[in-house]
């Protein structure tokens, strides 16, 4: 890959990731400040605004450092590490700055118990489970087909098989044939298809973060946001399953000598997935905000409730731990989407199983690359 092309890709990637991190406070729900419930009045205070301005300045510096480091690597060594290093530095900077802002926000949190929870509302229905169910079925079918196809072609493959391809789809790295080298991508298609499909289903049934005294505005916003997020995650899962399965089949064709490179439509699918993920995240952020916050009529008279306002159940503002809450997914306090209730053994088991599967795949990928 040429240094200039690598530089262009790196800059675009770094700016996009940095912009998302930079604008996190802009999409947050009123009353939440860097993972802490400070109340709707304090949220609009001079101290809260000053802390947010410091976040913007700090993340701007982190973004600039990431671009500079990536540019130096791209121009000096023309190595693909340039694509990974800036985002890694940004993520580390994001976490460090978040923890600093979280501690400052804790000082602004009100004393005493959180606002009383809203009574359960049984009249509302979650989004239709049809799309998440279809997504999981497609993920299982695609993953199973990819594994069966690779297994059927295993004996016919030559002693060395392609394991890596450049940006044009041409193979640029080969390894001796083995079960891990041939079956890694099909297994990944199965794991990610099931994992992302399951996440879409859980999101459709996630716990709602409601406000008191708002005549149901927060409930309506939450329902619209959950529906949009469910559709986005389902689309991401479907594209991922189809793309990885198509690439798995195409790689087998290259290994058998039936094609010189990955097909154009497989490469196009990868591009569509990237555009869908980036475009969807931006759209959800701008259109809905965190938990549908941009559709709410939030003010000091409509406090957040239902667990999201209880600082006692949150560790570092990131991890929700409440053994008395049967919910598996709850709304994030900082960022877009939902997070697990680590106090629920079912949520902890799902997280452990998916993490273990990903770690195994990463270890296999590292040992065969």
Q: Is the pLDDT of residue 361 over 90?
A: no
Convert the pLDDT of each residue in 276-318 to its tens digit: 998 899 899 999 999 888 988 888 888 888 788 889 899 999 9
Q: Is the pLDDT of residue 243 over 60?
A: yes
- At residue 6, the pLDDT reads 66
What number is the average pLDDT over the span 318-323? 93
Both tokens of residue 11? 């800059």
Decide: 35 and 318 in contact? Cβ < 8 Å.
yes
Both tokens of residue 135? 């997504």
d(CA 280, CA 235): 10
Phi, psi (5° rounding) for residue 207?
-65, 145
* Cβ neighbours, 10 Å, residue 325: 18
- At residue 127, the pLDDT reads 65
Lowest mean pLDDT among 51-65, 170-184, 220-234: 170-184
Convert the pLDDT of each residue in 22-65 to its tens digit: 888 999 999 999 999 999 999 999 999 999 999 999 998 988 88
Label residue 122 by pLDDT band (50, 70, 90).
very low
Q: Is the pLDDT of residue 268 over 70?
A: yes
Decide: 57 and 100 in contact? Cβ < 8 Å.
no
CA angle 131, 194, 325 (to 5 degrees): 80
Q: Is the pLDDT of residue 135 over 90?
A: yes
- At residue 246, the pLDDT reads 92
What number is the average pLDDT over the span 308-331? 91
d(CA 338, CA 15): 24
Predicted model pTM: 0.88
Q: What is the CA radius of gyration of the chain?
A: 23
Both tokens of residue 162? 């392609």
- At residue 3, the pLDDT reads 64
Q: Is the pLDDT of residue 88 over 80?
A: yes
Name the average pLDDT for the chain.
86
- Tokens 């039936």 locate to 258
Phi, psi (5° rounding) for residue 259?
-150, 145
Residue 162 pairs in a beta bridge with 174
Q: Is the pLDDT of residue 124 over 60?
A: no
Q: Is 218 exposed, middle or buried (0-12, 13-18, 19+ CB in 10 A)?
A: buried
E-only strand ranges, the chain: 32-33, 36-37, 160-165, 171-176, 314-315, 319-320, 329-331, 338-340
The closest of 317, 318, 327 to 347, measured between CA atoms, is 327
Sign of the CA dihedral with 338 first, then 214, 322, and 207 last = negative
Q: Is the pLDDT of residue 119 over 80?
A: no
Provide the 8-state DSSP code for 218: H
Phi, psi (5° rounding) for residue 65?
-65, -40
């Amino acid at each position: 890959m040429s240094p200039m092309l690598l530089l262009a890709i790196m800059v675009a990637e770094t700016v996009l990731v940095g912009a998302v991190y930079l604008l996190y406070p802009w999409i947050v729900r009123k009353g939440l400040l860097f993972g802490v419930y400070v109340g709707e009045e304090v949220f609009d205070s001079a101290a809260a605004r000053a802390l947010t301005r410091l976040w913007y300045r700090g993340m701007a510096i982190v973004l600039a450092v990431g671009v500079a480091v990536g540019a130096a690597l791209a121009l000096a060594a023309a190595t693909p590490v340039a694509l990974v290093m800036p985002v890694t530095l940004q993520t580390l900077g994001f976490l460090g700055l978040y923890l600093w802002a979280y501690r400052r926000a804790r000082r602004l949190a009100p004393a005493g118990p959180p606002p009383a929870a809203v009574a359960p509302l049984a009249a509302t229905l979650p989004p239709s489970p049809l799309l998440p169910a279809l997504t999981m079925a497609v993920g299982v079918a695609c993953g199973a087909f990819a594994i069966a196809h690779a297994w059927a072609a295993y004996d016919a493959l030559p002693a060395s098989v392609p394991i890596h391809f450049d940006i044009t789809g041409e193979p640029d790295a080969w390894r001796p044939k083995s079960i891990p080298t041939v079956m890694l991508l099909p297994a990944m298609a199965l794991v990610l298809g099931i994992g992302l499909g399951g996440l879409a289903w859980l999101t459709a049934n996630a716990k709602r973060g409601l406000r008191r005294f708002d005549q149901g505005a927060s409930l309506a916003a939450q329902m619209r946001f959950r529906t949009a997020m469910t559709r986005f995650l389902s689309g991401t899962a479907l594209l991922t399953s189809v793309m990885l399965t198509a690439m798995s089949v195409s790689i087998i064709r290259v290994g058998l000598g039936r094609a010189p490179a990955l097909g154009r439509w497989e490469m196009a699918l990868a591009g569509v997935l990237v555009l869908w993920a980036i475009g969807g995240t931006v759209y959800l952020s701008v259109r809905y905000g965190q938990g549908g916050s941009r559709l709410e009529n939030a003010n000091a008279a409509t406090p957040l409730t239902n667990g999201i306002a209880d600082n006692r159940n949150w560790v570092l503002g990131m991890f929700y731990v409440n053994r008395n809450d049967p919910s598996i997914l709850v709304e994030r306090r900082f960022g877009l989407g939902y997070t697990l209730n680590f106090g629920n053994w079912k949520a902890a088991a799902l997280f452990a199983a998916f993490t273990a599967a990903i770690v195994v795949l990463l270890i296999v990928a590292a040992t065969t690359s």
